Amino acid sequence: MLKLISSSCIQSRVHRLGPGLLPVSRPGTESTTPLMKVLSSLVGLSWRNVNLGSRVFFCSDSSDGSDQVVEAEVKAAESGANEAESKGSSAIVPTYPRPEDYLTVLALPLPHRPLFPGFYMPIFVKDAKLLAALQESRKRQAPYAGAFLLKDEPEADPSVASSSETEKNVYDLKGKELFNRLHEVGTLAQISSIQGDQVILIGHRRLRITEMVGEDPLTVKVDHLKELPYNKDDDIIKATSFEVISTLRDVLKTSSLWRDHVQTYTQHIGDFTYPRLADFGAAISGANKLQCQQVLEELDVYKRLKLTLELVKKEMEISKIQESIAKAIEEKISGEQRRYLLNEQLKAIKKELGLETDDKTALTGKFRERIEPKREKCPPHVLQVIDEELTKLQLLEASSSEFNVTRNYLDWLTALPWGEYSDENFDVIRAQKILDEDHYGLTDVKERILEFIAVGKLRGSSQGKIICLSGPPGVGKTSIGRSIARALNRKFFRFSVGGLADVAEIKGHRRTYIGAMPGKMVQCLKNVGTANPLVLIDEIDKLGRGHAGDPASALLELLDPEQNANFLDHYLDVPIDLSKVLFVCTANVVDMIPNPLLDRMEVIAIAGYITDEKMHIARNYLEKATREACGIKPEQVEVTDAALLALIENYCREAGVRNLQKHVEKIYRKIALQLVRQGVTIEPTVDSVHAIEPKETEVDFEESGQNTAGKKNSELLESSSPEQMSETSTIEVQTADQSADIEDAKESVEDKESGSKKTNEKILVDESNLTNFVGKPVFHAERIYDQTPTGVVMGLAWTAMGGSTLYIETTLIEEGEGKGALHLTGQLGDVMKESAQIAHTVARAILHEKELENNFFANSKLHLHVPAGATPKDGPSAGCTMITSLLSLALKKPVRKDLAMTGEVTLTGKILPIGGVKEKTIAARRSEVKTIVFPSANKRDFDELADNVKEGLDVHFVDDYMQIFNVAFCEDETQSIGEVTA
């Protein structure tokens, strides 16, 4: 690299140069060549004003980055010598002897770049012998040496920079080994100065090594080289030189360093000829050492110019790249600084105006702070969307509608608990305890839930199942879901889909709509703050379907374990992992759930509670909770077991306990009113006493028995004015009146307390006074008949409220030849109407088989009725009951006492299975029925019932109607048809 040396620096460190060592132009002459005129026009120089005594020179720098400043003082040569050489064409001031007289020189190795004629180069000489030889030759007025570029090692990569290693190798080379590593062509260098181990060289002319003379230090014989003859007027040479100058001009526009090179070089060089132009271009270019050595070795002027042109062109391209890089960095830095300053000014302005809360930067910072703790757990696709939206938010105007949409969207995205899960507890014993605390009975349901938790413990996760709790209202389906969440240590979230007709409630709205919101699941995750809550979807059998889509189909993606790992909400529009969410659904009637949805669920049926279970629930759960809610103490009220039993039997016959809870609350509300009425005259009096007591403390007595208040009043009288005295007297009167009121109040309190002790006794709720609290009984005994008459049979039915008994009655309207017909009433559905027709046909066949001559059905018009005509009835389980009723009328024989039956019959008399075995069994027990007939296919369902449900029942399992006929009409043959006693 070339350095500019200023004269101000030279004064501090002066180095004397031998006479004639400076490359200067001849005094009094002008360079009239075209090249010099062109180059002079580039730098704006006047050749007439060249200062021969200038102290500014060029030096070439080693490529290892160590910039050594060469300071030298130009000393004019002796006048005689200058005059003798003033006629010569060379700009180099000659010495004695002349440079061309040196045919044997010391060889100096150059590790990094060759030395071109007319340029300086500092080198470090570590070899002591070589340094001494240089100093000696300088003293002997022979300050010349040969500078030769060092060849690279054969295995070394010239493109890899390792300057320290190269210098170490140069110092180690000696004699023949060093001679073999030197390039043949070098430069005759004048030793300008020696400072320590630093030697300043000035290039003069080209040399070629011919042979080695001495080894230590290395001394070689050389030949002085001259350029090959060339034609100055050759057009190709001119054109090439002009292209070099043109390229130099372009580089000068972008690089001030090159401009200094040209200015300094032209001040101290003689005629600016074509060879020197080529040397100049190659010397100041950033080409590698081999390319520079190639230029140095080339003696053909045209070829040398071409090589230099290539190097300068490459330098021009590098300069352009450097300029573009610098411009880009400058624009980036200036743009960022400008944006930063403007933002800071904007913040200051908004702070002064009190608008900093609406700052987009603050809003963006809030979102970034919210998502930062979740960044490691957040899915990459969600992070990408958040970053894009944050960038978008910065570019939007706060007044635009899109800004609010983006802000709300980011609010939802950053508020969701990405990757945050609550620790699950799979302790089965703890779960059993929690379930027993919250619910009584339901043994099969609890067992199934414990199995589910046990499987989750072994798997380490409880997802993958959708539990559906089905049963009548009030049996505790919702509270069971809450208990499961508590047992698993999961967050609980409930939303009801009853009557839901809009898909957007589940899948969310599109963000383009005004007032768009995410679906229920996204809202759930935001509310609970964890990604694995227990979500209870209530009343799933009551889903609606409207113009806004089919919610049941939308729930498929939500509840399907294979799909909900990538649940896509329309509002968020990014996949959400719901596979860790535990879904629990509730339904009253499973048949109302769409089949594709039901297929993904595991149904757990909750049939309801029998009377014994209701008694326990009322005593241990409902009564306790209601008493605390009403603020009544246990010792104030006693509700007898007979009262609870009557309440259950006559008021609350449904399968659940919600209605029972209402009646218990009704009882305790009336008790609370009764207690308050008893104490209404006491409590306000006590309050007034408390209000007076702070004033009573003024009437106090000392140990001597004197009235302290009197003393105070006398003191006040002595030290007060007449106005104050009047005020004091008023106070005295008030105090006296208050003391009298206190005495009266105390007396009244004592009287009232003695009376309240008599009236405020424990309130007893018994069967006898139950009607005073809950009114008249709602239900009467389901058994209408103590002794079943002819044509009447008790059937068992299932309803949404549980099981119930159902009478089927048949009577004769008229009788005559060929008048056989059947008339149906009782709001029967299509299924039961068809069952009645089948029953009529089967009954005629059985009667014909039993009594061949009996034409009752052929000649009788019958009326079949199912009581409670206001209640719609339908279902495939009344066929056998209808046949028995028809046969009872035809045979004029009542059925067996305490008998109830259920089952559907085919035309051939086969009994088909039915549903709701537990509910129907409970209904039979409620009606005090001891004998039940079930289809044989339902024996397994009956065996699974609890022992307290089956206790004391005679159950017959049949698969043909003739077995029912024998049970209903032939009591003596009951043992022969396979009676099963439970």
Structure tokens at 794: 């008790």
Catalytic residue, candidates 477, 520, 580, 920: 920
Collapsed DSSP state (helix, strand, coil) of residue 594: coil
Instruction: Give the separation between CA 945 and CA 918, rounded to whole angstroms.
Output: 7
Nearest C-alpha neighbor of 237 from the set 282, 302, 300: 302
Question: Residues 679, 756: contact at Cβ < 8 Å?
Answer: yes
Residue in this structure with the two tokens 């401009």, named with its chain if needed = 259
Instruction: Give the separation between CA 58 and CA 890, rounded to whole angstroms.
Output: 139
Secondary structure E strands in 826-963? 860-865, 899-901, 904-905, 911-912, 931-935, 954-958
Instruction: Give the separation between CA 5 and CA 267, rounded to whole angstroms.
Output: 13
Collapsed DSSP state (helix, strand, coil) of residue 684: helix
Helices (H) and strands (E) in the chain, counts: 36, 27
Catalytic residue, candidates 877, 885, 888, 927: 877
Per-residue burial over 385-419, b = 16 or more CB atoms within 10 Å of its CB, e = otherwise: bbeebbeebeebeeeeeebebbbebbebbbbbbbe
CA gyration radius, the chain = 58
Asked if 920 is an active-site residue, the reply is yes
Question: Residues 847, 884: contact at Cβ < 8 Å?
Answer: no
Distances in Å between the Cα of 536 and the Cα atoms of 592, 783, 857 are: 18, 40, 55
Structure tokens at 4: 């500019």
Sequence letter at residue 567: F
Distances in Å between the Cα of 830 and the Cα atoms of 359, 391, 833, 861, 963 are: 69, 65, 5, 21, 27
Sequence letter at residue 374: K
Sequence letter at residue 289: K
Instruction: Give the separation between CA 456 and CA 691, rounded to whole angstroms.
Output: 62
Distances in Å between the Cα of 60 and the Cα atoms of 165, 257, 305, 345, 732 are: 21, 13, 20, 50, 117
Per-residue burial over 306-341, b = 16 or more CB atoms within 10 Å of its CB, e = otherwise: bbbbbbbbebbeebeeeeeeeeeeeeeeeeeeeeee
Chain-centre distance of CA 303, in angstroms?
Answer: 69
Instruction: Give the separation between CA 193 and CA 5, rounded to whole angstroms.
Output: 15
| φ, ψ at 332 (rounded to 5°) | -65, -45
Asked if 89 is an active-site residue, the reply is no
Per-residue burial over 437-473, b = 16 or more CB atoms within 10 Å of its CB, e = otherwise: ebbbbbebbbeebbebbeebeeeebbbeebbbbbbbb
Structure tokens at 591: 């048949």
Distances in Å between the Cα of 406 and the Cα atoms of 197, 362, 409, 516 are: 71, 15, 5, 12
| Alpha-carbon dihedral angle through residues 92, 98, 103, 106, given to the nearest 10 degrees | -70
Exposure of 6 by Cβ count < 10 A (0-12 exposed, 13-18 middle, 19+ buried)? exposed
Instruction: Give the separation between CA 659 and CA 176, rounded to whole angstroms.
Output: 117
Active-site residue numbers?
877, 920
